[in-house]
Amino acid sequence: MAKAGGAVAGLGLAALVAYSLYHWLPDWYNPFAPLSPGDPPTMVTRYKLRQMASDPQACLAILKQAGEQGMISFREQNNVAGKCPLDAPVRVTRFGDVGLSSSFLASCPLALSSAMFVHQRAKPVAAVLMKSELTRIDHLGSYACRNIYNRPGARLSEHATADALDISGFRFANGQQVTVLKGWDEQNARGETLRALFNQSCPFFGNALGPDYNAAHANHFHLGMRGFGICR
């Protein structure tokens, strides 16, 4: 009987803890609260973003919330079959008032993470360091059915599942633009902005790879969904 009473007491304590977590923790620290597009990138938020990969419809519902909040414009796309299949991809056309060099095909988690990064971090960083609004993001693409570095026999790249975006530069309302290739090592506002934008992108993605990672990334930031907090 004592053991049974102890088990009941333990369950009661667990229920009390769960209740307290749900009602008192901010959503972005509360593992029981649903993900919101405005949640800052805590470890709990990042965990929730990872869960979106296994529930495309739940992810799409949150992405639509982001669209209603003016964070992203996108179109739902048909599934892709073949060697590099895609389940419920979307075509991103812009991030609110921030345009793109071209639209890109993305998994829902990539689209959502990118929208959160642009509005929570990229726009404020640009306004402070460049003293101008961010107006456009230039990129080298997202979906590509290929192996890592196009090496025969290597595993499929994140691009093969539309889970990565390669950003090559940024443009601003005052007419300035910075490219990763030319600006990364500059010791001025452009270089500082690029390095800050890269560092601020890391919490929103499973991996963020830039020019300091290797020569293959000298001209872009690779922002991908695999991993958990890789930032190089």
Domain ranges of the chain: 7-36, 39-231
Handedness of CA 85, 91, 95, 96 (dihedral sign): negative
Band (pLDDT 50/70/90 cuts) for residue 227 is confident
Contacts 24+ apart (CB under 8 A), 97-103: 97/70, 97/133, 97/135, 98/122, 98/123, 98/134, 98/135, 98/136, 98/137, 99/135, 99/136, 99/137, 100/136, 100/137, 100/138, 100/139, 101/136, 101/137, 101/138, 101/139, 102/139
pLDDT of residue 216: 93
Structure tokens at 34: 């649903």
Q: Are 212 and 185 within 8 A, CB to CB?
A: no
Distance CA 226, CA 78 (A): 23
Provide φ and ψ at 15, rounded to 5°.
Answer: -65, -40
| H-state helical runs in the chain | 2-24, 43-51, 56-68, 108-117, 123-129, 180-183, 189-201
pLDDT of residue 9: 46
* 180 pLDDT more than 50: yes
State the pTM of this model: 0.87
Q: Pairing relation of β-strands 90-94 and 104-106?
A: antiparallel
Which of 8-12, 19-23, 91-95, 213-217 bottoms out in mean pLDDT, i.e. has the lowest? 8-12
pLDDT digits (tens, 9 = 90+) for 72-129: 999 999 999 999 999 999 999 999 999 999 999 999 999 999 999 999 999 999 999 9
- β-pair partners for 80: 86
- Degrees, nearest 5: CA angle 156-159-165: 150
* 189 pLDDT more than 70: yes
Residue 97 CA: distances (Å) to CA of 56, 175, 204, 226: 26, 16, 20, 28
* 186 pLDDT more than 50: yes
Cβ neighbours of residue 46 closer than 8 Å, sequence gap 6 or more: 203, 204, 228, 229
pLDDT digits (tens, 9 = 90+) for 36-84: 999 999 989 988 988 888 898 999 999 999 999 999 999 999 999 999 9
* 31 pLDDT more than 90: no
Q: Which residue has the higher pLDDT, 10 or 154?
A: 154
